[in-house]
Structure 1
Amino acid sequence: MSELVEYHQNLMADIRREADASGIFPVEAFFDRMTERLTEAGELEVADRAYYQSGDGGQRLRIDGYAGDPRQSEGVLGLIVCDFVDSDEVQTFGRGDVPPILNPLIRFLKRARTEKFRDALNEVSPAFQVSDLIITTWSRVTKVKLILISNRQYIGRSDTLKLAEFGDVPITWSVWDLARFERFDRSGQAREDMVIDFARDFGAPLPALKASQTGAALESYLLIVPGAQLAAIYDKWGARLLEANVRSFLQARAKTNKGIQKTIKDEPELFFPYNNGLSTTADAVSCVRTDDGLSIASISNLQIVNGAQTTGSIHASLKSAKDQLSQVFVQMKLTVVPPDRSEDIVPKISEYANTQNKVNAADFFSNHPLHIRIEQFSRDVVFAAREGERHDSKWFYERSRGQFINARARLTPAQQKKFDLEFPKAQLFNKTDLAKFEYSAAGHPHIVSRGAQKNFAEFAKEIGEAWSKSNAMYDELWYRRLIAKAIIFRHLEAEVPKQPWYEGGYRANIVTYAMAKVFKDASREKQVLDLDAIWRRQAVSQPLQRALLLAAAEANYVITHPPSGVRNMSEWAKQQACWSGLEGRRLDYGDDFDGCLTLQETARTNERDQRKKKRETDGISAQSEVVNRGSEFWREILVRGAADRKLTPKDQQILQICASMPRQIPSELQSKHAITVLERMREQGLVAE
């Protein structure tokens, strides 16, 4: 069985299971699952489902979703259409099959721009809301991006296609087919290499100065890029250039961006001395020698790790100050980082380079200590079997894309069965899931509703600041309570579509709002929601389920009844005012809801007990390591440290005890100190790893 066939089988099984469990159509489950990949891959920032279909043949209209407000994405209007086939076999489609799928979407766009079409629809119809958004924002739209998502395999070529005419604004299209999703799920790679060919596309290679010696660990170059050229590169590849960056372009709202655009418009010749330039990385570069010296002919997979705002502002000037761009030049620092080292190197470049709009850059990357710690917990912490089940299990945290599917693929069929019992597919979660669980519980459903990437960016900023002050709270009990939040979130996802009041749409918004509401109402003067009871049972109790669904019904009402003048409910759910509207409502959860709560002091006592247990465990572990290394090892460390005068009197005293084993055995506290001295000497290069 090929990897693609196996992937298709697993995908269809997951979609059918999700559809059956939640009472939704398979195509809805497919849309939700696959648009999560699109946001993670940077294809779009947010995906809101908005299904509409009418007519036949050449009059057919069809849309499945849209990519949020174009005013929040540099004027790009993203529209999504699904090509879903409920089949056990891998189906294919070619280039000639694309126009019949995309043209109904283009026809919908044409019709949706008219007030006549909009006003003929019911105001609660998703099509009405998309049409109203398009009419309201059309003057700001600079590009239309059509995205076709399919569970079939595309066997065509992505070259010129004859699509329906649409002359107002440029239209681009992309296909995310079964094979592309499979590549992304296995490795996070869903695209062909992005090669910027200066010689072919921009007239000539770009002059460069090599900034690294022959044989250096990494190649580095300095370049001066014309502003018009940088704008054209960004216009073609867009967010792909910023996948390693810690933030998207903040449009012109931040003071930094306003200053950049003012300089371009009023003093373009001063842009170079005023601007800090770009820090970039690439997988590879192709260099040539010209009469003027070294030049770069092409760059493979360029990533702007610092300078997103500079790049975005220059691109925006294509519309507002195109004539001035010819006088704009940007300095670029380019480092060639091999793909196998990118996860270690690129975050550090980004962290050290970012100074504007200060953020905790490393928090966005999968090798941040928090993610590593959660990953370790997820492989070690066992949860008792649910009532009626036989097997204990674990939750699998996918720190980087592809870990789950690749870990399973390396096993024999017998080992895979054991793996599936230990790590059920339903207990897989990733970084953006983590942010949704935490921010829903913390009372930020309007931020969660803005999409996985924006929510994760906010969460990462907050968690980075907290981590830098102290990481002690992120212990095993914190992880177990995180899983309790995951259980609540996933339970709501399954139950909301089954409710009689649910009319379809806004499930994601209702889920995060309902969870936030219950957590808020449970936080009383001396009580909080008993998360420890939830992770122990690995299930939501009946009283808690009733409370969650009561809050969900109220959330549904608030979201679908926006204030006068607000027509788009998905956009309404992204506003603080929407959360304030639900937060202030009084709900009667019933007397049995008190059984879902615990005293704050009890929760804190559990935390203190956990930290005490961890200290004891750490002490035992350190003592065991010291004893296992033996007295000769510690004698050598003592001699080396004393010779280099790197030891304090306390260091020497404790190392002497370690060196005198077994006559003296260091205590747990002394052992921890000895390990700290050893680590310090390693950092100083006095002791080999």
Structure 2
Amino acid sequence: MSELEEYHQNLMADIRREADASGVFPVEAFFDRMTERLTEAGELEVADRAYFQSGEGGQKLRIDGYAGDPRDSEGVLGLIICDFAEGDTVQTFDSSKLPSLLNPLIRFFRKARDEQFRDSLNEANPAFQISDMIIATWSQITKIKLILISNRTFVGKGDGVPLQDSGGVPVSYSVWDLARFERFDRSGQAREDIVIDFARDFGAPLPALKASQTEAALESYLLIVPGEQLAAIYDKWGARLLEANVRSFLQARAKTNKGIQTTIKDAPELFFPYNNGLSATADAVSCIRTEEGLAVASISNLQIVNGAQTTGSIHAALKSAKEQLPQVFVQMKLTVVPSDRSEEIVPRISEFANTQNKVNAADFFSNHPFHIRMEQFSRDVIFTAREGERHDTKWFYERSRGQFINARARLTSAQQKKFDIEFPKSQFFSKTDLAKFEFSATGQPHIVSRGAQKNFAAFAKDIGEAWSKGDASYDEIWFKRLISKAIIFRWLETEVPKQNWYEGGYRANIVTYAMAKVFHDANGEKQVLDLDAIWRKQSVPEPLQRALLRAAAEAHDVIVHPPAGIRNMSEWAKQQACWNGMKGRKLTYDADFETCLTLVEIAKTAKRDEKAKKAMTDGINAQSEAVNLGADFWRDVLAWGRDRKRLTPKDMQILEVCASIPRRIPTDQQSRYALEVLGRMKDQGYGDA
């Protein structure tokens, strides 16, 4: 079985399991699962399900979802249609089938611009809401992006292919097929390479100054990019040029900077001295020699890791200040980073280049210490088997796309079975999942409703600020309580579609709002929700289940009955006012709901006990490591540090104890100190060849 066939088999099993558990159609489960990938990959900023179909054959209209209000995504209107094929074998389709797949979506879009079509629909119909949004925002729509998602394999090319303009607005389509999703799930890569050929497509090669020596670890260049070229490049590839984590970071802030735009309009010749420029990376750079000197002819997979607001502002000038663009120039620091080092290097480039924001984009990268710590907990912390089950399990945290699928793929068949028992697929979660769990519990469901990436951006900002003040609170008990929140969230996802009041749609909004409401009502000055009881049993207590479903019914009512003048319920759920309305409603829970609460002091005691237990375990481990290294090793460290005058009197005292093993055994506290000294000595050159 090929990797693609195995991926398809696992995907279909997951889709059917999700559909059966939640009582939804398989195509709905497919839409929810795959649009998460679209937002993470930067194809869309958000994806809201909005199914509508009517007519047959050449009159058929269909849409499965849309990418939110175009005013929130630089005027880009994203529309989504699904091609979902049942069956256990991998199916294919070619370019000749694209018209029959895309035309129903194109027909729907054209109809949706017609007020008569809109007014013929019920206001609760998703098609009405999309049509109303398109009509209301048409003057601000700059691009239309049609996206086809399929569980079949497309034998052709369809990444950003242009179609005929609609009312003067450019239209393009993009195909996400099975193979593309498989590539993304394995490595986080799902696109054709971006190859920017300056000579062929953008006027001329860019004069450059090489800023690295021949033997340098990384190849670097300094370039001066004309504003017209940068705007044209961004117009073609858009947010694909923005490194995914930087894009997430910027979603928490203004899209473009008014000061930058003012300079372009009023003093374009001063743009270069006023602007800090761009920091970018690439997989490869092709250079040529011209009469003027070195020039960059092409760049492969350009990613702007700092300067996205500058880029967006220059692109906006195509409409607002096109005549001034020829006078605009921007500097670019370009570094060629091998793909196997990108996760190590790119975050640091972004961190050190970013001086405009207190919390920088590096906080969002998968190798931030917060994510590394959560990953370590997820591999080490064992949870007791649920009632009726035989095996203890773990929750697999994927801090970097592809970790789960690749870790499993490297194992033998027997090892895979053991892996599946240890890490059940239902206990896998990603960075964006973590952010949803945490923000739902902390009373920010309107942020969660804005989509996985925007929610993650806001969450990461909070974590970055908190982590910089102190990381001690993000310990093992924090991780265990996070798992309790995951259990609640996942239980609600399964149960909401089964309720008789559920009319279809808005499940994601209902889940986060219901969870936020129950946490809001339960947590007070004296009592809080007993999360420790949930992770110990790995299940939601029955009284809490009833409370959550009571809140879910109320959330449904709040979301589908917005105030007068608001017609789009998905957009309503993204507003603070929606959460204020939900938060202010008085709910009556059953009397036994009290059994799901615990005293604040007891919760704090559990936290203290966990820290004391960890300190004892760390001390035992440190003592064992110090003793195993042996007296000869410690004598060598002591001599090296003493000869170079790198040791304090206390350092020498502790190392002398270690150098006397086994006659004298260092305490756990002394062992921890000795290992800290060893780390310091290694940083100063000890052990280097």
Q: TM-score range by the shorter chain?
A: over 0.9
Q: Could you tell me which residue of structure 1 aligns to residue 533 of structure 2? A: 533
Calculate the aligned-residue CA RMSD, in Å: 1.6
Q: Distance in 1 between matches of 2:212 and 2:615?
A: 46
* Deviation for aligned residue 1:685: 2.1
* Structure 1 residues 286-301: aligned runs within 5 Å: 286-301=286-301
* Structure 1 residues 113-512: aligned runs within 5 Å: 113-158=113-158, 166-247=166-247, 254=254, 257-512=257-512
User: Which amino acid is 1:318 matched to?
Assistant: L
Cα distance change on mapping 1:491 and 1:682 into 2, 3 Å? same
* Deviation for aligned residue 1:465: 1.2
Q: Distance in 2 between matches of 1:163 and 1:237?
A: 15
Contact 2:544 2:596 in 1 (8 A): yes
Cα distance change on mapping 1:244 and 1:51 into 2, 3 Å? closer
Q: Distance in 1 between matches of 2:203 and 2:372?
A: 46
| Alpha-carbon displacement from aligned partner over 1:228-259 (angstroms, at most 9, x marks no partner) | 10011111111111124524596998497000
Q: Could you tell me which residue of structure 2 aligns to residue 88 of structure 1? A: 88
Cα distance change on mapping 1:4 and 1:460 into 2, 3 Å? same
Contact 1:489 1:511 in 2 (8 A): yes
Q: Could you tell me which residue of structure 2 aligns to residue 69 of structure 1? A: 69
Contact 2:248 2:457 in 1 (8 A): no
| Alpha-carbon displacement from aligned partner over 1:318-340 (angstroms, at most 9, x marks no partner) | 11111110110000000111000
Contact 1:484 1:538 in 2 (8 A): yes
| Alpha-carbon displacement from aligned partner over 1:362-397 (angstroms, at most 9, x marks no partner) | 221111111111111111111111111111111111
* Deviation for aligned residue 1:164: 7.1
| Alpha-carbon displacement from aligned partner over 1:289-347 (angstroms, at most 9, x marks no partner) | 11111111111111101000000000011111111101100000001110000000000
| Alpha-carbon displacement from aligned partner over 1:161-189 (angstroms, at most 9, x marks no partner) | 79677343000110000110011111111
Q: Could you tell me which residue of structure 2 aligns to residue 550 of structure 1? A: 550
* Structure 1 residues 102-117: aligned runs within 5 Å: 102-117=102-117
User: Which amino acid is 1:262 matched to?
Assistant: T
User: Which amino acid is 2:576 matched to?
Assistant: Q
Q: Distance in 1 between matches of 2:493 and 2:175?
A: 28
User: Which amino acid is 1:111 matched to?
Assistant: K
Q: Distance in 2 between matches of 1:251 and 1:226?
A: 26
Q: Distance in 1 between matches of 2:458 and 2:390?
A: 39
Q: Distance in 2 between matches of 1:675 and 1:343?
A: 28
User: Which amino acid is 2:473 matched to?
Assistant: M
Q: Distance in 1 between matches of 2:289 and 2:206?
A: 11
Q: Distance in 1 between matches of 2:665 and 2:338?
A: 47
Q: Distance in 2 between matches of 1:428 and 1:272?
A: 47
Contact 2:159 2:173 in 1 (8 A): no
User: Which amino acid is 1:5 matched to?
Assistant: E
Q: Distance in 1 between matches of 2:659 and 2:251?
A: 62
* Deviation for aligned residue 1:160: 10
User: Which amino acid is 1:114 matched to?
Assistant: D
SS at match of 1:385: coil
| Alpha-carbon displacement from aligned partner over 1:445-496 (angstroms, at most 9, x marks no partner) | 0000001001001111111111111111111111111111000000000000
Contact 1:99 1:161 in 2 (8 A): no
SS at match of 1:246: helix
User: Which amino acid is 2:462 matched to?
Assistant: E
Question: Do structure 1's residue 667 and structure 2's residue 662 form an aligned pair?
Answer: no
Q: Could you tell me which residue of structure 1 aligns to residue 33 of structure 2? A: 33
Cα distance change on mapping 1:318 and 1:555 into 2, 3 Å? same
Cα distance change on mapping 1:359 and 1:383 into 2, 3 Å? same
SS at match of 1:196: strand
SS at match of 2:166: coil
Q: Distance in 2 between matches of 1:243 and 1:5?
A: 30
Q: Distance in 2 between matches of 1:32 and 1:356?
A: 35
Q: Distance in 2 between matches of 1:255 and 1:148?
A: 27
* Deviation for aligned residue 1:89: 1.5
Q: Distance in 2 between matches of 1:409 and 1:206?
A: 43
Contact 1:245 1:306 in 2 (8 A): no
Q: Could you tell me which residue of structure 1 aligns to residue 678 of structure 2? A: 678
Contact 2:159 2:174 in 1 (8 A): no
Q: Could you tell me which residue of structure 2 aligns to residue 55 of structure 1? A: 55
Q: Distance in 1 between matches of 2:318 and 2:404?
A: 43
User: Which amino acid is 1:155 matched to?
Assistant: V
Between the two proteins, what is the percent identity of the paired residues? 78
Contact 2:41 2:244 in 1 (8 A): no
Q: Distance in 2 between matches of 1:109 and 1:437?
A: 35
SS at match of 1:149: strand
* Deviation for aligned residue 1:2: 1.0
SS at match of 1:146: strand
SS at match of 2:640: helix
* Deviation for aligned residue 1:357: 3.2
Contact 1:251 1:313 in 2 (8 A): no
Q: Distance in 1 between matches of 2:122 and 2:255?
A: 41
* Deviation for aligned residue 1:525: 2.5
Q: Distance in 2 between matches of 1:140 and 1:102?
A: 24
Question: Do structure 1's residue 584 and structure 2's residue 584 form an aligned pair?
Answer: yes
TM-score (norm 2): 0.98
User: Which amino acid is 1:430 matched to?
Assistant: S
User: Which amino acid is 1:130 matched to?
Assistant: I
Q: Distance in 2 between matches of 1:538 and 1:208?
A: 59
Q: Could you tell me which residue of structure 2 aligns to residue 624 of structure 1? A: 624
Cα distance change on mapping 1:162 and 1:601 into 2, 3 Å? closer
Cα distance change on mapping 1:128 and 1:160 into 2, 3 Å? closer
Q: Distance in 2 between matches of 1:159 and 1:122?
A: 35
Contact 2:41 2:188 in 1 (8 A): yes
Where do 5+ consecutive residues of structure 2 fail to align? none
Where do 5+ consecutive residues of structure 1 fail to align? none
Question: Do structure 1's residue 515 and structure 2's residue 510 form an aligned pair?
Answer: no
